[in-house]
Amino acid sequence: MVLSSLRARWAGFLGAFVAVALGVTLVAAMGVGLAASLDPPVRAPVRFADSPVVVAGQDTLTVPVRRGPGTGRATEKLAHPHPVDNELLRELRRLGRVTTGSTGSTGSTGSTGNTGGIPAGSAGVDAVGVDAPVRAVRAAVAASGTGARILTGADRRLVDPATERDARALVAVNAFLGTAGAVAAFVAAFVTASTFAFVVALRRREFGLLRAAGASRGQVRRWLLGEALAVGAVASATGCAGGAWAAPVLARTLVDAGVAPPWFTVAEGFSGSLWFWWPYQVAFWSGLVVAVGGAWAAARRAGRVSPVEALREASLDVGVMPLARRVVGAGLLLGGGAWLLWTLWAAPAELMKRKFYVVEGMVLAGAAAALVPVVVRYVDRVALACGGTAPRGGRSASRGGWRALVRVARTNMTGAVRRTGAVAAPVLVTVALAGCLLGSAATVGRAKAEEARARTAADLVVTGDRLRPVPAGGVPGAVVTASAATAVYVREDGGTALVRSEARAVADPRAFAALTRLPVVAGDVRRLDDRSLVVNEEWERHRVGERVDVRLGDGRRARLRIVAVLARGTGDNGAYVTSRNAPAAPVDRLDVRLRAGADRAAVAAALREATGGEVRSAREWVAAEYPGMRRQTRLGLLMLLGICLAYTAISLAGTQLMTAPVRGAELRALRLVGATPGQIRVVVGVEAGFAVGVGVVLGLGVVGVGLGGLSAGLARLSAPAGVVVPWGVMGVCVGVCGVVGVGAAVLGVGLAGRPRPTPSP
């Protein structure tokens, strides 16, 4: 019976099949990419490819912390790894050839002689290769007591410059694939559930006849679930095959977009052994669960009604807001609102993170979609207020009464709440996610840029990896202050956590304070010295005059006094220490103020020659360092929106094409009152446009709530910035939804056949 039903109604299940298959394809492709990023191929060493053993300085900080009733240890990456000890270098030279290897970035290579080009007593060597037995090297390192690392085999790549860059790139790949997989699963589940629910709603008369013929409630439910199981199984298997094809394409796209490193690849092809790989298992069973789960609620609703009730309600949209839907919608709305308010009050910095605004957008969009029927009931009143009344003079539709056609379309929309909701829901999800994702990312980017611009009082900014020092008075006509990137570590939460705080090391605190406008809320930055530091409000202890036990960027202990406290901001207001507390930090930035009458071009040329860095105006530096939204981020978010838009198009087309055959009586009634076929298409198109408009309005409401909460959070962080609404992208989404929704509705009328005015006997 299930197979016969599927053969007879294959067109009605086509939308659900495509939605599940596409969802499984995306989940499988994302899963394969995520598995490849979690287990990347082991790359061959480059810098010390010719050395069997590598000795490197300690690069981690490990401190004891509280773990429940006992103690544990917490580890963080040092901002400034230790160099190889000089005494240890002398011992290693006695064992064999020592070389610094190729740096990979400059292309310089150490000597291959016994000393390896390392002068006696030199400092600052981060790693060396040793041509000696591993056992002898281990003994020498253990005797030195320096805690240096010994790397052999593939581990030698850990000191390659590209290793850290690849690690950062893989973190970005993981974040993107995880977010994309979550969004794809959400949209797939949403569209599939809506499609199955609408299919069941269109078949109420059929179910009533079955109940009248003696079918039990359980038989009706099992029939519908059997259909969903068959469709879900075939679609999931198809999606797994599609995922095997799409995964390499996705990997190449991520590489071309600069999101993934150039060497990132995934396994190509689909074989029997790959079938048991966890991404395909997760994708297949997720698709099956989504298909059956989407039909579950609709099957229970179809089986609960009596035969008489089903036949009486076959042409009426009543009971479209059952208790379960009300509870789900209200729960999501209250939960999303409460989560937003709690985060705004307790941890406003979390509002800027992608994992928050993505999940918050999905929760609010789901709540709005569940409550669409409630909103549709008020559309008639709004339309009346906007002038949607009957035409004067009693003109018929056949004589050009366009206002009458609009009123008919509006009445059809409010009378067919299920159909209107099935069209509006995917539209609002797409608009909401487009606004929340792109708008939140752009708003955070603008806030960071505005914050950096407000903090900078310099005329010129010089940047570079290792700037040459500028002697006092070395650049006539300019006041120059140097700073370097470092970090400070502190134990917080009662000694249970080791927290790393990004920091800047400044050479002259007074000059630095004169060339910056830091958001100080307490204290004075000019009082910074070698026995103090500047913190922000995010620190657990942030009272001026309080002493804090910290670890510096190279792991040394220090007890420093707080002399100033900064506002939290967007996260770039870190700590500040003096250069003496970060001796290993290379200067990477010079802030320059021009004296009165100084020639900007001459000063810039002198700075370029003296430091070897890039000289830009403060505005150019802010634009380069804080572009608002990075290209990789934008491309990733646009890919996510492409997924949502594809699902929305599938849902809209499927809903309109499934609806057309069951609207024969309604369209014949319009022909009886004089409407022409063209005017009937206008009515259907306007009705579809109204439904799309409802989804757009609700989607804009979700965007307003999401971006409004983010703006309030930035204000709480003392980093107010104007909200960025991606009108262009949202406009494209609305245009595509309108074209697909209206076009499919009009096309459905044509495919269903021209309605003829057949009078009732």
pLDDT digits (tens, 9 = 90+) for 416-459: 777 788 888 889 999 999 999 999 999 999 999 999 898 999 99
Higher pLDDT, 16 or 284: 284
Which residues, 6 or more positions from 131, have their beta carbon under 8 angstroms from its beta carbon? 51, 52, 53, 96, 97, 98
Report d(CA 749, CA 117) in Å as an integer: 83
Which residues, 6 or more positions from 583, have their beta carbon under 8 angstroms from its beta carbon? 554
For the ranges 246-260, 392-406, 692-706, 742-756, which has the lowest average pLDDT? Answer: 392-406
Residue 119 has pLDDT above 50, yes or no: no
Clarify whether residues 761 and 650 are in a common domain: yes
Q: Which tens digits make up the pLDDT trace of 170-183?
A: 888 888 888 888 88
Residue 526 has pLDDT above 90, yes or no: yes
Give the pLDDT confidence score for residue 599 in this predicted structure: 92
Give the pLDDT confidence score for residue 278 in this predicted structure: 83
Report d(CA 698, CA 696) in Å as an integer: 6
Clarify whether residues 434 and 470 are in a common domain: no
Give the pLDDT confidence score for residue 175 in this predicted structure: 83
Residue 463 has pLDDT above 90, yes or no: yes
Clarify whether residues 683 and 573 are in a common domain: no
Q: Which tens digits make up the pLDDT trace of 398-424?
A: 444 667 777 777 777 766 777 788 888
Q: What is the mean predicted confidence (pLDDT) over 40-54?
A: 87
Q: Which of 105-109, 181-185, 440-444, 720-724 has the highest mean pLDDT?
A: 440-444
Q: What is the mean predicted confidence (pLDDT) over 608-636?
A: 88
Give the pLDDT confidence score for residue 753 in this predicted structure: 55
Structural domain contains residue 72: yes
What domain range is 97 assigned to?
A: 53-159
Structural domain contains residue 387: yes
Structure tokens at 391: 């035409």
For the ranges 4-8, 106-110, 711-715, which has the lowest average pLDDT? Answer: 106-110
Q: With cut-offs at 50, 70 and 90, classify the pLDDT of residue 360.
A: very high
Report d(CA 578, CA 564) in Å as an integer: 13
Report d(CA 260, CA 249) in Å as an integer: 13
Q: With cut-offs at 50, 70 and 90, classify the pLDDT of residue 606.
A: very high
Pairing of strands 532-536, 557-566: parallel
Structural domain contains residue 22: yes
Clarify whether residues 745 and 646 are in a common domain: yes
Clarify whether residues 188 and 238 are in a common domain: yes
pTM: 0.81
Structural domain contains residue 322: no
Q: How many folded domains does the chain comprise?
A: 4
Structural domain contains residue 348: no
Clarify whether residues 251 and 165 are in a common domain: yes
Give the pLDDT confidence score for residue 647 in this predicted structure: 80
Give the pLDDT confidence score for residue 264 in this predicted structure: 86
Clarify whether residues 410 and 264 are in a common domain: no
Q: What is the mean predicted confidence (pLDDT) over 602-628?
A: 91
Higher pLDDT, 88 or 322: 88
Clarify whether residues 482 and 594 are in a common domain: yes
Q: Which residues are 589's β-sheet partners?
A: 463, 483
Residue 643 has pLDDT above 90, yes or no: no
Q: With cut-offs at 50, 70 and 90, classify the pLDDT of residue 752.
A: low
Higher pLDDT, 123 or 717: 717
CA distances from 392 to 403, 404, 588 (A): 9, 10, 76
Give the pLDDT confidence score for residue 569 in this predicted structure: 87
Clarify whether residues 69 and 59 are in a common domain: yes
Give the pLDDT confidence score for residue 229 in this predicted structure: 86
Q: Which tens digits make up the pLDDT trace of 52-81?
A: 999 999 999 999 888 777 778 899 999 999
Structural domain contains residue 362: no
Provide the 3-class DSSP secondary structure of residue 459.
coil
Share of the chain above pLDDT 90, in %: 36
Clarify whether residues 290 and 261 are in a common domain: yes
Q: With cut-offs at 50, 70 and 90, classify the pLDDT of residue 26.
A: confident
Structure tokens at 745: 């509705």
Q: What is the mean predicted confidence (pLDDT) over 99-110?
A: 50
Q: With cut-offs at 50, 70 and 90, classify the pLDDT of residue 754.
A: low
**SS3 breakdown of the chain: % helix, strand, coil, rounded to 5?**
60, 15, 25
Structural domain contains residue 341: no
Q: Which tens digits make up the pLDDT trace of 180-239?
A: 888 878 887 777 777 777 777 666 667 666 777 777 777 777 877 888 888 889 989 999
Q: With cut-offs at 50, 70 and 90, classify the pLDDT of residue 118.
A: very low
CA 72 to chain centre: 33
Q: Kindly report the CA angle at 417 between 226 and 372, in degrees rounded to 5?
A: 90
Higher pLDDT, 528 or 628: 528
Give the pLDDT confidence score for residue 170 in this predicted structure: 85
Structural domain contains residue 136: yes
Give the pLDDT confidence score for residue 736 in this predicted structure: 94
Residue 121 has pLDDT above 60, yes or no: no
Which residues, 6 or more positions from 167, have their beta carbon under 8 angstroms from its beta carbon? none
Give the pLDDT confidence score for residue 343 in this predicted structure: 93
Give the pLDDT confidence score for residue 279 in this predicted structure: 86
Clarify whether residues 590 and 641 are in a common domain: no
Query: What is the chain's mean pLDDT, rounded?
Result: 82
Task: Count CB-CB contacts under 10 A for residue 66.
Answer: 15
Clarify whether residues 270 and 287 are in a common domain: yes
Element (H, E) at 353: none
Report d(CA 718, CA 760) in Å as an integer: 71
Q: Which tens digits make up the pLDDT trace of 490-517?
A: 998 888 889 999 999 999 999 999 999 9
